[in-house]
A and B are shown apart, each in its own frame.
Chain A
Amino acid sequence: MLKSFRIGGVHPPGNKLSKGAGIVTMPVPETVVIPLSQHIGAPATAVVAKGDTVKVGQLIGKSAGFVSSNIHSSVSGTVTSIDPVVDGSGLRKPAITIRVEGDEWVDTIDRSDTLVRECTLTPSEIIARIADAGIVGMGGATFPTQVKLSVPQGKKAEFLILNGVECEPYLTADHRVLLEHGREVAVGADILCRALGVDKAYIGIEANKQDAIDYMEKVCADHPHLEVVPLKVKYPQGGEKQLIDAVLRRQVPSGALPIDVGAVVQNVGTALAVYEAVQKNKPLIERVVTVTGKSLDKPSNLKVRIGTSIRTLIDYCGGLPEDTGKVIGGGPMMGRAMANLDGPVTKGTSGVLLMRENQSLRPEAQVCIKCAKCVSVCPMGLEPYMLSKLGKHRMFAEMEPRHVTDCIECGSCAYTCPAALPLLDYIRLGKAEVMKMIRARKG
């Protein structure tokens, strides 16, 4: 029997329209807009000025704290502004705009395709290179990778788990990365193991990607510490806590971190970026993005320079279809709807999903019939109907003892609700308010 997490879960249709589309490298755009905050934590500080010329891979934003990340130029050209720019959310965010001139790379970057397996760096050297390269969690969470690799004193990492689950419908970027860069990913895993001082790594892949499972099993023959774990297709299998439960049969307690059960989870895209940073000296300046949708001409997987506008990607795949109602950054379960198409691709952009107009509006909400489906699908074992009701009535204090802060916002409850109630909207509201209360209490 395939492994899976033990509580709840739903089965949305996969709709992996672009799974057969090999990764295509997008042409370098004319301008890029590189936000200074593409990660969780403090925004980076700009270290270039308007009018400066930059090369591909040059540091342009410096990490501004322990939880922060470096930002590099993804193109060569001239900095035209360091001003806030409206991004896909419709809000103004500090960003560096660069006009592209040619494609001149920093000369320390090894741009060849040769696989470099050997790594003799010490753990701290590896972590330093990863920090220098500005690598963050590329599954969408964008947590700075070097922080995740710095195991706090008194705790010990036992296992590395690579997340190749890609349980979000439509998205195929990780799937293609495994198929086309599986060897690099495996070396990335070796390097991560070395940095963590662990000698066992698993790579979790959902059973709907049999070709990736087969290929990675072949690759693993050369990597004795790495083992493929085929997983049942069930959402949110790729949630960090769910994946650990599925692979290790260990549950991260409420409020604790994966490291508390000896696990460190990294996305497969992150492992590829780690390989490139450590072995090829290449900072995180491009990533694979799935561009997809039922009406889109050519659902694709594109290798894109960070800072390329979403509109450019859509145009490259055949243009925005007439019937588009919603454009989502990420997958349909947890992605964010964009207010405009001018925002840039960032380190965390795993996909751009175009929803047809008739798929874009929510069904009309009915009354709760207490069917208990939200309770049975909640992967955290919460009571969404109750939390949502409390949130709606702004009874936030009541939500804390009901563990609202455990909610991972996966949306399984709202997805499954036969009454189409906006359960997660109210839970999210309550969760934010409870977090505020907790912070205030801590002073």
Chain B
Amino acid sequence: MKKLIVSPSPHIHGSDSTKRLMRDVLIALIPAFAISVIVYGTSVVKVTAVAVISCLLFEYLIQRFLLGGKSTLGDYSACVTGVLLAFNLPSSIPVWLVILGSLVAIGVGKMSFGGLGRNPFNPALVGRVFLLISFPVQMTSFPIPEGVDSLTGATGMDASSGATPLAFVKEALKSGKSVSELMPDLSMADMLLGYKAGSLGEIAALALLMGFAYLLVRKVITWHIPVSVLGSMALFSGILWAVNPEQYMNPLFHLLSGGAMLGAIYMATDYVTSPMTQRGMVIYGIGIGVITILIRVFGSYPEGISFAILIMNAVVPLINKYVKPRRFGLAK
């Protein structure tokens, strides 16, 4: 008789795999990608393709010639990094900057720590923030979507560029205007649907929320991080707004503008760089939400969610050390 296979239990395995989870994240991003193509045209496809191909290529090269070990190209994690990096860039960005950003994202953000599972910071955000700090002009010039009135107020842009709602509001408030003077220029419906200037993947709040629903249904992520990020942003900005509605924007504006949705749903939830317990996730999410509003309202940058996520990424090991899961046997 042939030999029987003997191994310890469990003898069955669930349907989850790294590959399936990553693929689901890519699927969840399709609606936002589609809206972006509609709003900004084919340059969106170009930027995304360049980012994905560069990320895969750099991961391959670093693994092959520097790091060694088994290739992780097949698990789609580099694809996700590429797409998320692209989503954080203006569609008008020069190709060479996309390639440079991918190199920093994969090379510095991921592989320098040993590759998948070992990086403390979200690789796509490392790439984005590197570009934002090093090439601020290219990173903050956004083409004006067709059919959208140009918001002016940001400086240093050529005629074809527009300001994001966040940048527009920041400039205007700084110059002494009141919120009620600005509101006629801002359409919440357009912001929800994606008709606004911004990074190519962040504009379509509704499409990003659809992807969130998909990720929840597929159990790729839980609600904890996105809801605590967005909830704390709404609460904090809501308090400010209640104190002085002429000086501070309302919570809905904050949730629909900038990278709030993209950051809360897709960047902050990166497995590797977020906490291991659900309570930890809530603490982490609240930290991101509060820091984001602090930067947006009181800082010098119009948008701060990238920085907020990276700052909280650094706190994750501490959260994991002190916030433990609720153990069985302690309930009444």
Q: CB within 8 Å of B: which residues of A?
A: 6-7, 10, 12, 90, 169, 241, 245, 251-254, 256, 324-328, 332-341, 353, 355, 357, 359-363, 366-373, 375-376, 378-383, 385-386, 403, 406, 409, 411, 414-420, 422, 424-425, 428
Q: Does A372 lie within 8 Å of B20, measured CB to CB?
A: no
Q: B6 at interface (Cβ–Cβ under 8 A)?
A: yes
A362 touching B117 by the CB < 8 A rule?
A: no
Task: Name the distance in Å between B329's Cβ and chain A's nearest Cβ.
Answer: 4
Contact B16 A325 (CB under 8 A): no
The answer on a CB contact under 8 Å between B10 and A383 is no
Give A406 to B327 CA distance when docked, in angstroms: 9
Which residue from chain B places its CB closest to the CB of A377 in the assembled complex?
Answer: B14
- Residues in B whose Cβ lies below 8 Å from that of A333: 9-12
Contact in complex: B10, A334 (CB < 8 Å): yes
With contacts A254-B329, A326-B4, A326-B5 known, is A370 near B11, CB below 8 A? no
Residue of B nearest to A403 (CB): B327
Tell which of B271, B275, B281 has the most Cβ of chain A within 10 Å: B271
Classify the secondary structure of A's interface with B: loop
Chain A residue nearest to B116 (CB atoms) is A367
Using a CB–CB cutoff of 8 Å, the interface residues on chain B facing chain A are 1, 4-14, 16-18, 20-21, 72, 75, 77, 115-118, 222, 271-278, 281, 324-332
Q: Please, how many angstroms separate the alpha-carbon atoms of A432 and B20 in the complex? A: 34
Chain A residues with CB below 8 A from B9, complex form: 332-337, 409, 411, 424
Instruction: Report 25 cross-chain contacts, Cβ distance below 8 Å, ordered by A residue.
Output: A252-B329, A326-B6, A326-B7, A332-B12, A337-B8, A340-B4, A359-B11, A366-B72, A369-B18, A369-B117, A370-B274, A372-B275, A372-B276, A372-B277, A372-B281, A373-B16, A376-B222, A379-B328, A380-B329, A381-B328, A385-B276, A415-B14, A417-B13, A424-B9, A425-B8
CB-nearest residue of chain A relative to B16? Answer: A418
Contacts of B4 in A (CB 8 A): 324-327, 337-341
Among B4, B5, B16, B324, which residue has the most Cβ atoms of chain A within 10 A? B4
Name the B residues within 8 Å of A368 (CB-CB).
117
Residues in A neighbouring B16, C-beta threshold 8 A: 373, 416-418
**Which listed residue (B222, B281, B328) contacts A380, Cβ 8 A?**
B328
A244 vs B4: C-alpha distance when bound (angstroms): 37
| A419 close to B18 (CB less than 8 A) | yes
Closest B-chain residue to A374, C-beta based?
Answer: B276
Are B8 and A428 in touch, CB under 8 angstroms? yes
Chain B residues, Cβ within 8 Å of A366 = 17-18, 72, 75
Q: Shortest beta-carbon distance, A360 to chain B, in Å?
A: 5
Closest Cβ–Cβ distance, residue A362 to chain B (whole Å): 7
* Given A325-B4, A326-B4, A337-B5, A10-B331 contact (CB < 8 Å): no
Tell me the minimal C-beta distance from A408 to chain B in angstroms.
9
Q: Inside 8 A of B77's CB, which chain A residues have their CB?
A: 369
* Chain B residues near A382 (CB-CB < 8 A): 325, 327
Which residues in B have their C-beta under 8 angstroms from that of A367?
Answer: 72, 115-118
Q: Let me know if A411 and B117 touch, CB within 8 A.
A: no
